[in-house]
Chain A
């Protein structure tokens, strides 16, 4: 019986030993590592997995990526919790930059949003422009699954509803509060419609029953900007890290990687690199 006491103590110390191996490793990563707040689409599509290792190799900066909706990413920037943002919610971004805590905002790339839904297309939106499609969905009370998370995609969806002169309510209009991948899944399972960025859709197309029904009109353009944060947002923001990331992602090598990304796997690039272009020149 007495031997049991040492056994318990030995177990505790064994666990502690396991701990000692672990804890110190946490230290070094705090040096020269910057926080990137971005959208779920850049992570769920796999783009960041390709870009970030190259950035770290080239500059020595480690990147901590927080893949959240654009709304939350901007909020993290506003609080000084992130050093640099890669987001796609232009109206909210312009408002945010006007507040003064952000530094430069530069065009990075674009792709487009698409309206996807079940092959059977109960609301009959195939080939229609996006606003008319939204009207039909609402009129048919067909299931529409919204992100509902103030992401860039969610913001665009709300713009489309208001352009259609509608306020969607009712049991057909459902909100997941989750990222694009999860929301696509819910929409497919419920035979519903949803608005998605093309990159996330293409990356997951194989496991989805949904199909693209409305695409290509200028209202569906999806533009990504990089925004550097400054110490005006918080004392611990690292403007040098922000500048390093922003300068790198608009540089020629990074832009080329963006343009190539997805070509092999999906037969078409998921994003079009746009650094240095005039935003007004981007076609739908």
Chain B
């Protein structure tokens, strides 16, 4: 029990005293995971729309693949990206392995299926007549699509939260493609694992608590955006 209290004390101390390493690790965590979430949204939104509304062969298989991808183990994605980025691998010339960029790539790979699957569900639960009516009222295709997204905004924001939650909390891919390099690719999850293996449990718990705090902060913003619209309705 003592170690939990020590961890709490350590977390407060690290944050209040503005411990440079902790802030750098926290900033990198946010940077990598938010970037990966943004990339996943950019890729996943159109893909999810296409899977939900499109009529093309293989659509259901694609949707099933995205649904499977929601449970994609980060370690598998990490391994795949690592092998691609190895010096001896096909993309080795880029020199990206063990950089934050590589972590963004891997985490985007983890989050994109989540976005695709949740966007598809979000859009499909809107009354199919909705788009027909919009177009009947003279709206362009794009206009009606945007209106459809507006109608599905609550689950869409939930998709963004799920994507962020999936990447900010994962450790397997971050460790493998990032290498947990101090000051370069060390994020809160890998720092917590390292502190644990060094027997610094209070520090590990402190990192865990900081992770919870920033995850909460990001989700609070998203939730306020989401629920603010509900109240305004």
Contacts and interface: CB of A to CB of B under 8 A. Distances in A.
Task: Decide whether A and B assemble into one complex.
Answer: yes
Tell me the interface secondary structure of chain A in the complex: helix
Contact of A22 (B32, B41, B149, B184): B32
Contact of A81 (B87, B96, B182, B199): B87
A26 B103 CA distance: 10
B20 interface: no
Interface stretch (A6-14, A134-142, A160-168): A6-14
Contacts of A8: 149-150, 153, 156-157
Nearest to B30: A18
A280 interface: no
A178 B41 CA distance: 35
A188 to B, nearest CB: 10
Interface residues of B, number: 47
Contacts of A5: 146-147, 149-150, 153
Interface string B216-233: 000000100100010001
B197 interface: yes
Interface in B1-59: 30-32, 34-35, 37-39, 41-42, 45
Interface stretch (A149-157, A179-187, A214-222): A179-187
Interface stretch (A97-105, A123-131, A201-209, A262-270): A201-209
A98 B100 CA distance: 36
Given A4-B229, A207-B199, 5 more contacts: A19-B31, A80-B88, A178-B197, A184-B199, A236-B88
A27 B32 CA distance: 14
A21 interface: yes
A237 B95 CA distance: 12
Range for the number of chain A residues in contact with chain B: 35 or more
Given A64-B184, A81-B86, A81-B87, A15 B38 contact: yes
A66 B101 CA distance: 18
A65 B93 CA distance: 20
Nearest to B97: A81
A29 interface: yes
Nearest to A49: B182
A146 interface: no
A1 interface: yes
